[in-house]
A and B are shown apart, each in its own frame.
Chain A
């Protein structure tokens, strides 16, 4: 089954404790992206990747890191989480090129205390 998986689905952590949210897709998509969703703000892009070893900042990259060492995986790293990073995070993937629709993961709900 074609899918995007994220882990963990729920996470409660404390300020400053490094964490990683994993994202994996099995559709051989070149393009992957991370979004955060906050009430009243919709989805905002954090980082995206056009292919292995190619990543770039989205609209709200501060406080986040990503890596793309393999085509299927695109982890999101919070080196020193802060309470303002409490949010619902989504990973998405798609083929590269115009007219592509994105496939979304189920989301990771993060609470930073």
Chain B
């Protein structure tokens, strides 16, 4: 079943600006992950944040997690044309769960040169 819901569905910004995407989910989680997908290609893991963490950084990426609101945000700073892609959040339910990750529908990000 669909767990994460990304917002907005699509986002277009100018190169150099910051891009923020949000994800909401419904049940208790062990961790939340963000993936990137270039058009028609496989997903690539970007960053993982555990349920006991509030913020995490990786290069130009900053992820926050608010478990009380069941939401997360992904911030990409100083965007580049190469950041154009779809971004998905994925949740791993509490208790491990043999069924792995549940993905949202994604945010399509377009960086205008």
Contact = CB atoms under 8 A, between A and B. Distances in A.
B45 A102 contact: yes
Q: Which of B33, B35, B98 has most A Cβ within 10 Å?
A: B98
Interface residues of A, number: 31
Majority-rule SS of A interface residues: strand
Given A58-B99, A90-B43, A98 B30 contact: yes
A33 B100 contact: yes
Interface string A92-113: 1010011111111111010000
Contacts of B90: 102
Range, interface on chain B: 20 to 34
Majority-rule SS of B interface residues: strand
B100 A42 contact: no
Nearest to B43: A104
Interface of B: 1-2, 30-31, 33, 35, 40-45, 48, 50, 88, 90, 92, 96, 98-106
Interface of A: 4, 31, 33, 35, 40-45, 48, 50, 56, 58-59, 88, 90, 92, 94, 97-107, 109
